[in-house]
Amino acid sequence: MSSTKNIRVGVAGFGWMGRVHTQAYARLRHHYPDLALAPTLASVADEVPGRAEQAAAQFGFENATTDWRDIESDSSIGAVSITAPNFLHRSIGTAMIEAGKHIWIEKPVGLSAEDARAVALAADKAGVQTAVGFNYRNAPAVEQAKVIIESGDIGAVTHARFRFFSDYAAHPDGALSWRFERARGGNGVLGDLASHGADLLWYLLGDIDSLVADTAVFVPERAKPTGATSGHALATGGELGPVENEDFVSSQIRLASGARATLEASRVAVGEQNAYGFEIHGTKGAVFWDFRRLGELVLSVGDRYQDQPVSTVFVGPQQGEYGAFQPGSASAMGYDDLKVIEAKRFLQSITDGKPVGATVWDAVRSAEVLDAMTESVSSGRWVTPGA
């Protein structure tokens, strides 16, 4: 620990995700005592009166402010978590980068691929490191699935299904927060959940050749909130306003490898709580993962083709970052652990001077997929992402 250096960090936006980032920083030394760079919680910003002060009191930030520009102008801060609403990602991200700060920013990094690309280009020009909140690829089971696929254990991938279903917006009394506005929340469930699916699909299976998509809004109006909201608050009796972005997306995908895939996401799926995962089939076998059973893979390998057994495999200390959290297989990890891994890789990238884990360029790739989906819905045609 004597060789550990400190880096002062700020958090811009303290809703639920700002809390998750802060907790990840606080836990880093517990799981990675030999990490060369350790965070000091320097400043937290949130425009809601009292929220930043409460965060400072609870987590020990040295300073609290309602203006993220106070973090930008503080030359002692070397790294910033950007966990503000989507429409602020580009302005806050580029400002922090131009101030010489490394950034850990939540997906989807703005409202479009153009926004994400602006942040990525600014980071390249400034020579700072970036990290993006594609946390599901950090799960040791997902990393093991990648090893299995690349080793050829399931043969050549033929088809796959990626599914991100949740009920967080299923209640008709869900408040009309910024998440449901086109100008502030972007493309709805595409940026919120399908962005994760697009990243996982690329991470495991490679580039997309083309896609066709369909979207829908199933709860067309919601009540406007009377005050600040956090998370997925309910609101009743207020003035109704229109839901401007997508509740649901379904896409058929042709991969550059020749494989086929589907990607579905819904924020209004009653009976589904964080039902995130994938099913990947190959010429010799298959591998399945469900986020709700984070440390498990369902695997079918062998040479039988027909009636081939399926088994559950528990990941352990030999897979990914599992060993930093649990000593033996089948001891549960959780969502917040994935963010600790993300924080570790962010700080490691600063130490190494090169990317470790997902970067803003991964957000650009994901956003190009989402933009292609939107274009496909409009045109009714197959679209090549980024073309």
Closest CA to 197 of 166, 224, 169: 166
Instruction: Give me Rg for the CA atoms of the chain.
Output: 21
Going by pLDDT thresholds of 50, 70 and 90, the confidence category of residue 213 is: very high
Identify the band that residue 232 occupies on the pLDDT scale cut at 50, 70 and 90: confident
Task: For residue 13, count CB atoms less than 10 angstroms from its CB and return exposed for 0-12, middle for 13-18, buried for 19 or more.
Answer: buried
Packing angle, helices 140-151 and 195-205, rounded to 10:
40
pLDDT at 295: 97
Find, among 135, 120, 46, 136, the residue nearest to 82 by Cα.
Answer: 46
Q: Which CATH class is domain 137-333+357-379?
A: alpha beta
Nearest to 131 by CA among 95, 110, 107, 96: 107
Query: Maximum CA pair distance of the chain?
Result: 63
Task: State the pairing for strand pair 286-290/221-223.
Answer: unpaired
pLDDT in tens, 361-376: 999 999 999 999 999 9
Going by pLDDT thresholds of 50, 70 and 90, the confidence category of residue 1 is very low
pLDDT at 371 (0 to 100): 97
Q: Which two tokens stand for residue 152?
A: 């050829």
Q: Of 124, 85, 161, 15, which Cα lies nearest the Cα of 364?
A: 124
Res. 227: pLDDT tops 70: no
Give the pLDDT of residue 44.
98
Find all residues with CB under 8 Å of 67, minimum gap 6, and list them. Answer: 45, 47
CA 275 to CA 246: how far, in whole Å? 18
- Alpha-carbon distance 74 to 53, whole Å? 18
Among the listed ranges 119-123, 146-150, 173-177, 348-352, which one has the minimum average pLDDT value? 173-177
Q: Alpha-carbon distance 299 to 3, whole Å?
A: 42
Question: Among the listed ranges 35-39, 79-83, 231-235, which one has the minimum average pLDDT value?
Answer: 231-235
Q: How do strand 275-282 and strand 5-12 relate by DSSP bridges?
A: unpaired
Q: Name the phi and psi angles at 57, rounded to 5.
A: -65, -40
Tracing tokens 């528990």 back to the chain, one arrives at: 314
> CB neighbours of 114 closer than 8 A, spacing ≥ 6?
none
- Please report the pLDDT score of residue 245 as a whole number: 96
The structural domains of the chain, with segments of one domain joined by +, span: 5-135, 137-333+357-379
Read off the pLDDT of residues 9-26 as tens digits, 9 standing for 90 and up: 999 999 999 999 999 999
CATH superfamily membership of 5-135 = NAD(P)-binding Rossmann-like Domain (3.40.50.720)
In the 8-state DSSP scheme, what is residue 190? I
Contact 257, 205 (CB under 8 A): yes
- The pTM score is 0.94
For the chain, what's the residue count?
387
pLDDT at 239 over 90: no
Residue 384's CB is within 10 A of a number of other CB atoms, namely: 13
How many other β-carbons are positioned within 10 Å of the β-carbon of residue 356?
16
Q: Is the pLDDT of residue 105 over 50?
A: yes
Dihedral angle, C-alpha 266, 146, 19, 267, nearest 10 °? 0
Rounded to whole angstroms, the Cα distance separating 338 from 103 reads 18
Residues 244, 181: contact at Cβ < 8 Å? yes
Residue 225 confidence (pLDDT): 82
Closest among 189, 184, 181 to 244, alpha carbons compared: 181
Tell me the two tokens of residue 188.
Answer: 């709805």
**C-alpha to C-alpha distance for 85 and 229, rounded to whole angstroms:** 12
**Which alpha helices (DSSP H) does the chain contain, by range?**
16-31, 51-59, 69-72, 89-98, 113-126, 140-151, 182-185, 189, 195-205, 335-352, 360-379
The answer for residues whose C-beta is within 8 angstroms of residue 299's C-beta and 6 or more apart is 148, 285, 286, 287, 288, 310, 311, 312, 313
pLDDT for residue 229: 59
The torsion defined by the Cα of 332, 338, 343 and 348, in degrees rounded to 10, comes to 80
